[in-house]
Amino acid sequence: MRVHTGKRLTVVGAGVIGASVAWLAAREGWQVELIDPLLAEGAEQTGASWAAGGMLAPFSEAWPGEDDVFELGAASLRRWPDFGARLRDETGVDVFTGTGTLLVAVDGADIERLTMVADWLTTHGYRPQRLTRTQVREEVPSLSRSVRGGLLVPEELSVDNRALLPALRRAAEAAGARLSARELTSIDECGGDQVVLAAGSDSPRLWPGLPVHPAKGEILRLRRRPGTPPLPTRIVRGLVHGRHVYLVPRDGGMVVGATQHEGHDQQVTVGGVRDLIADAEALLPSIGEYQLADAMAGLRPMSPDNLPLIGRLSDRVVAATGHGRNGVLLTAVTVDAVLAELDGGQLADAKAADPGRF
């Protein structure tokens, strides 16, 4: 690590990726400006980081054929304990909320898909624990009796993204970064010796032609009411007749997600809420008694191959965008990769995410 005293860095986008880069770059001596209109006092938080589920789940997100996506996620998960501990030491905020993921299925076709994923993970040196119907309910007794089996991935973690995001912004400011609540119309408006473009689905507006497009994701937050069964202690991810749904424990409630639709629309639809609740109830019938505390939609920044774009776009501009569904998971490895680029190098673990592949 080099010390960059006196060098100026502009970070565009103050979601979890941009705020993390601003924080740790400032710690390395960069004079950092972090720019995002959502930094304005009282601004409604509408970005993908605020709408996220907070899962650090590369194994349960794995899909046959997406080897590079899996390896990048696994590399980031390995970094997260140290990353989270450093943030806790500097801010006093412990963002971790749960350990372990239980993947479950409700019909024969869903079991076959889980088996295919488990077999593929095994070829990559990881052996998830295969559970029978009885063993699944021993893990989470409140699960529906219709659940037919599953996989247990004890290594995966979850974080409270709505605690993580403000903690990262405070850490960046405490490290010396200047937070600027303004909207840019061009990357040329950025000062600084170097620029990091971490503006999510808005990145192509500032760097035309960048292969990043938005995908709408609706997500619910539920609050447990007195008398309902205890919350699961693990993340529960289910296949319900081919549809994906996840339930992530939070203090006093859970996050349920998520739909996915193409486009810039951030309105929550009745159909989206209905489908999420129906699929979640198929796994955990007691949630019908929970309070619906919040419903929102965020725009995930997707790339054509589900890998983010992390690396140089020019001698002055470094991309850190296109993280899709996995922005929170990939934060730790992305920060290391961006700092390596700013040092004039490249992080081996993130080589597959180089924007030059397009």
HSE-CB of 4 using CA atoms within 13 angstroms: 22
Alpha-carbon span 327 to 52, nearest angstrom = 8
What pLDDT shows up at residue 289? 92
User: pLDDT band at residue 3, thresholds of 50, 70 and 90?
Assistant: low
* H or E stretch at 152: strand 149-159
pLDDT band at 91 (very low <50, low <70, confident <90, very high): very high
The confidence score (pLDDT) of residue 62 equals 87
Question: In which band, very low, low, confident or very high, does the pLDDT at 4 lie, cut at 50, 70 and 90?
Answer: low
Q: What percent of the chain has pLDDT over 90?
A: 81
Query: Which contiguous run of DSSP H or E holds residue 171?
Result: helix 161-174
**What is the DSSP pairing of strand 291-302 with strand 261-262?**
unpaired
Q: What is the mean pLDDT of residues 185-207?
A: 95
Beta bridge partners of residue 318, listed in sequence order:
196, 312
Q: What is the pLDDT of residue 202?
A: 95
Residue 62 in contact with residue 55, Cβ under 8 Å?
Answer: no
| Per-residue model confidence (pLDDT) at position 251 | 84
DSSP string covering 3-53: --TT-EEEEE--SHHHHHHHHHHHHTT-EEEEE-GGGSTT----SHHHH--
Listed residue (9, 7, 8, 19) closest to 332, CA to CA: 19
Q: Is the pLDDT of residue 205 over 70?
A: yes
Q: Is the pLDDT of residue 107 over 70?
A: yes
- List the domains of the chain with CATH numbers: 8-55+161-210+305-357 (3.50.50.60), 98-156+214-302 (3.30.9.10)
d(CA 63, CA 70): 8
In this predicted structure, what is the pLDDT of residue 199? 97
* The model's pTM: 0.95
Q: Please return the burial class of 105, using the count of CB atoms within 10 Å of its CB with bins 0-12, 13-18 and 19+.
A: buried
pLDDT for residue 2 is more than 70: no
Per the CB < 8 A criterion, the answer to whether 296 and 216 are in contact is no
Check residue 42 and give its pLDDT. Answer: 83
Strand partners, 225: none
Q: Write out the DSSP string of 176-231.
A: TPEEE----S-GGG--SSEEEE--GGGHHHHSTT---EEEEEEEEEEEPPTTSPPP
Q: Closest Cα to residue 23, out of 336, 324, 355?
A: 336
What radius of gyration, in Å, describes the C-alpha atoms of the chain? 20
- Tokens at 303, concatenated: 């790339």
pLDDT in tens, 290-337: 999 999 999 999 999 999 999 999 999 999 999 999 999 999 999 999
Q: What's the mean per-residue pLDDT of the chain?
A: 93
Q: What is the mean pLDDT of residues 203-223?
A: 96
Residue 128 has pLDDT above 70, yes or no: yes
The two three-digit tokens of residue 333, written as one number: 């490895």
Asked if 23 and 168 touch (Cβ cutoff 8 Å), the reply is yes
**Among 193, 160, 164, 191, which Cα is nearest to 14's?**
164
**pLDDT (0 to 100) of residue 98:** 87
Within 13 A of 264's CA, how many CA atoms are on the CB side?
4
Distance of CA 356 to the CA centre of its chain: 23
- Sort 153 into a burial class: Cβ within 10 Å, 0-12 / 13-18 / 19+: buried
Q: Which string of DSSP letters, residue by residue, matches 244-294? A: EEEEEEETTEEEEE---EESS--PPPHHHHHHHHHHHHHH-GGGGGSEEEE
The per-residue pLDDT for 127 is: 86
Residue 242: what pLDDT?
A: 81
